[in-house]
Structure 1
Amino acid sequence: MQRIMEVLSEIIRDYPDVKIRLVSGNADEMETALKHGTIDFAVLMAHRSLDSYHHLQLPETDRWGLAMQKDNPLAQKTLLNLLILLASRFWYPNKLLMNTASKIGGVT
């Protein structure tokens, strides 16, 4: 997202009359909005066919973070893996985590 924010900053600087509205949603919602013309472009973080669109592959990779209270047992670990996280009580985007797990041979 850093690259996207830098590009948006340049657009705002170079074209002060252009109005930018950021919209958040999942890949299906963004693809529907593209098809209907309600958005001009989308940044998708999903593996899907983009043959219907002019698209660019951004070189960035996903970066995940985990926040927890200091007294959480996970806070004492020096290394966490997907199976440890799946066995723990915390909020995560279910579909994203399950897709990741299935790709690396984890829980399906």
Structure 2
Amino acid sequence: MKAKEIFSSYSLKYTQKFIGMALMGKNQTMESLDQSLSSFEDCKNVEFMVHPGYRTIKHTNESNNLEGCGDPDGPDLFSQSSDREHEMFFLTSDEFKGYLMVHNYELLKFSDLS
């Protein structure tokens, strides 16, 4: 059984398409986003997986390593990655906001899906 059939049988909401795996970190550019989105025809909604945020710093003093994933061992490599900051700056950029407006894209929550 496919995921869509399973989700539908439980009345779970889902998008028609998914992007993000090839757009993570430094690969998240306007060109790569446009290439991914322009490949979809007759698509009303797309999930764009992102993990924006400030990266955490691993301290030499273990008692200061309270941030990020991996506690109590301190932040894991994912939470220390500068790719998270790249995504945050990309998603809050005027260029990204302009792209959404020009292409008439609207940001939604899963609760907005029908």
TM-score (structure 1 length as normaliser) = 0.27
Larger RCO of the pair (alpha carbons < 8 Å, separation 6+): 2
Please state which structure has a larger fraction of its residues in strand: 2
Please state which structure has a larger fraction of its residues in helix: 2
TM-score (structure 2 length as normaliser) = 0.26
